[in-house]
Amino acid sequence: MDSAGADAARILGEIESLKATRSDIEAKISALEAQLKGLSCRDGNGSCPPATAAGAGLGLGLGHGLAPEMIYRYSRQLLLPSFGVQAQSNLLKSSILVVGAGGLGSPALLYLAACGVGRLGIVDNDVVELNNMHRQIIHTEAYIGRSKVESAAAACRAINSTVQIVEHREALRTTNALEILSKYDIVVDATDNAPSRYMISDCCVVLGKPLVSGAALGLEGQLTVYNCSGGPCYRCLFPTPPPTTACQRCSDSGVLGVVPGIIGCLQALEAIKIASAVGEPLVERMLLFDALSGRIRIVKIRGRSLLCEVCGENATFSRQQFQEFDYEKFTQAPLSASAPPKLNLLSEDSRISSKDYSERLKNGEAHILVDVRPEHHFRIVSIPNSLNIPLSTLEKRVAEISSALNEAEGQRDANLYVICRRGNDSQRAVNHLQKIGFTSAKDIMGGLESWARDVDPSFPTY
Amino acid sequence: MSNLCPFALVLRCLQRFHSLAETSSVIFRKRVFAHPSSFAAQRRRDPSKKMQLTLEFGGGLELLCDSVKIHNVNVETPKGAQQLAMRDLLVWVQKNLIKERPEMFIKGDTVRPGVLVLVNDCDWELSGQLDTTLEEKDVVVFISTLHGG
Ligand SMILES: [Zn+2]
């Protein structure tokens, strides 16, 4: 175990250093490519986009302002009788901001870049991670560890170099939201948490911008357009934030990659419709997608609420109020879907570090290890010989713990350790176990994450 | 729609409930049908009749009812009441379908914040919320708003 652990650590170290070298080289290549592009622009050899799309075709007397290469590039859209030259021309003059370059933002950005939006902004503060790749299809492995905005912008430019891509490598906050959003005609909410959704909607109301809102989790997705054509805002629908326990994250509940992909594509579609002034936007209606049953239903939702605190008849929600509003406090949730805060429910002597536990394990201490994660987590990976009793079933299955303890008892009393993924549920479990008489129960601090970090680097994390 | 008689409208609505595949149209809830052969009229003659409803849970709310999303149920109109209202249905759902963490479904006498209620694909805000009265074969959807992406 020890030498295997050391080997794994060495290999991981080597991989890390190779990755760092690779990303250095890639950064240099990007810089050189940009330099080259600048040179060829000045040479005027035509590989660069025209400064403005409009006006280029006027010399031919076309009237609509589409340059010949634009006509060719977008010909399949121009051929649509219900879209055509006018809609394409509208699109080329429009600007769209996508907040979040994740599961929803990936396909939305790819299609918006491809279809010929004039200016496309991307806001995100995250870096690309391996466990994003299954759904955040705009990013490639070469960008792991680098800014999502940088990665997404490169992908958009690769698809359509004539679109102006604007990178906002920062988290959207009340301090910068007004300034950033005000530069765009349409906002696409592709974020992953409740406070951001309230903040973006409020900001769109203050600035009078239509908001294309999508969400996906597990095998379901939802889509609607807020603050558009007299329709409701996010707060009209959800005046009171949900309890934090109702806000599931993809990192806890999981998500099938294609599900946000579908919703993100639909977000691109709604944004294109609004930008090109074609069709009926999904206002006062909500699309509900259920992947498992293969059903899409479109339901009628309420209109603008006269009593809405932000967009209602007597609402006086100003820029200043927006900037001073504490969205994290309002929703009791952080403005990023990061890991939940670490609980501290137990006294020091009821807790043990993963390192100390591994020592006791090595010394052959009589004990049992209860893993309180849900069963489908346990099936992904677990510590050998641990007993899976999910927290939700703990009360009903106390007898199993008692009998396992009796079996493990040698000459000494067997100890009882509890572990989970991150070290919060294990504390809740120990709290309960101590109350019902298992006074020596201890929680392994930081859960399997700390086990993987401090004891066994080859132990899979998820 | 306005050139159709109310009876035809009822029929049309019911046809729609049966073809859930139809997704493009929104069913607007009408509460004024008084044609003698409508279900509402039948129920007035027989107030103890159990009402057949389809209840659906989504956005994670199904986890509160054994992970079952669609429930075809028969709900009795409360004693003394003429009609079954959403107010009554919520009590019934909490008693009969919600198996765990009821606070994730109900707060006070209504659904918790963040839950949308749809009666025949239409936000219950538009039909009177808790006062919305239900009819035979209505479809009621409870869906938790999602935030993930
Ligand atoms: Zn509003």
Range with the poorest average pLDDT among A92-101, A323-332, A337-346: A337-346
In chain A, count of helices (H) and strands (E)? 18, 13
How far apart are alpha carbons A117 and A160 in whole angstroms?
Answer: 10
Contact A248 B122 (CB under 8 A): no
Q: How far is B91 from chain A (nearest CA, A)?
A: 21
When pLDDT is cut at 50, 70 and 90, the band that residue A230 belongs to is very high
The larger pLDDT score, comparing residue A50 to residue A320, is at A320
- Residue A449's contacts (CB-CB under 8 Å, 6 or more residues apart) are A421, A422, A423, A461
When pLDDT is cut at 50, 70 and 90, the band that residue A294 belongs to is very high
Prediction pTM value:
0.81
pLDDT value of residue A435 = 94
Nearest Cα to A193, choosing from A220, A213, A208, A170? A213
Contact B149 A104 (CB under 8 A): yes
Q: How far is B126 from chain A (nearest CA, A)?
A: 6
- Ligand-binding annotation for A131, yes or no, is yes
Locate B68 and state its tokens.
Answer: 């079952």
Rounded average pLDDT over A259-272: 98
The larger pLDDT score, comparing residue A39 to residue B7, is at A39
- What pLDDT digit, counting tens, does each position of A414-435 carry? 899 999 999 999 999 999 999 9
Contact B112 A243 (CB under 8 A): yes
First to last CA, chain B: 38
pLDDT value of residue A322 = 98
Residue A383 has pLDDT above 90, yes or no: yes
Contact B149 A250 (CB under 8 A): yes
Q: How far is A264 from chain B (nearest CA, A)?
A: 9
Residue A142: DSSP 8-state:
G
Burial tier of A194 (Cβ tally within 10 Å: 0-12, 13-18, 19+) = buried
- What pLDDT digit, counting tens, does each position of A342-351 carry? 889 999 999 9
Interface contact B58, partner A, CB < 8 A: yes
Coil, strand, or helix at residue A166? strand
DSSP B70-139: EEEEEEEPPTT-SS-BHHHHHHHHHHHT--S-GGGTEETTEEPTTEEEEESSBBGGGTTGGGPBP-TT-E
pLDDT value of residue A65 = 82
Residue whose entry in the numeric block shows the structure tokens 């209109």: A303
CB B129 within 8 Å of CB B86: yes
pLDDT along chain B (149 residues), means of 10: 44 43 43 46 58 96 94 93 94 95 94 97 97 97 94
Residue A189 has pLDDT above 90, yes or no: yes
Which residues in chain B touch residue A193, judged by CB atoms under 8 angstroms apart?
Answer: 147
Identity of the residue in A222, A239, A300 whose CB atom sits nearest the CB atom of B146: A222
How far apart are alpha carbons A257 and A100 in whole angstroms?
Answer: 16
pLDDT value of residue B30 = 43
State which amino acid sits at residue A112. L
How far apart are alpha carbons B26 and B13 in whole angstroms?
Answer: 10
When pLDDT is cut at 50, 70 and 90, the band that residue A246 belongs to is confident
When pLDDT is cut at 50, 70 and 90, the band that residue A404 belongs to is very high
Residue A54 has pLDDT above 50, yes or no: no
Between A and B, how many residue pairs show a Cβ–Cβ distance under 8 A?
Answer: 119
Residue A43 has pLDDT above 50, yes or no: no
Nearest CA in chain A to B116: A237
When pLDDT is cut at 50, 70 and 90, the band that residue A52 belongs to is very low
Cα(A168) to centroid(ligand 1), Å: 27
Nearest CA in chain A to B140: A299
CB A23 within 8 Å of CB A145: yes
pLDDT value of residue A57 = 45
- Ligand-binding annotation for A204, yes or no, is no
pLDDT more than 70, % of chain A: 92
Q: How far from A75 is each of A69, A80, A115, A297, CA to CA, in Å?
A: 10, 9, 11, 32
Cα A255 from chain centre: 11
pLDDT value of residue A62 = 66
Range with the poorest average pLDDT among A82-91, A158-167, A250-259: A250-259
The larger pLDDT score, comparing residue B28 to residue A220, is at A220
Rounded average pLDDT over A152-170: 98
Which residues in chain A touch residue B60, judged by CB atoms under 8 angstroms apart?
Answer: 217-218, 246, 248, 253
Complex ipTM value: 0.79
Contact A297 B122 (CB under 8 A): no
- What pLDDT digit, counting tens, does each position of A334-344 carry? 888 777 778 89
What residues of A are annotated to the active site?
250, 420
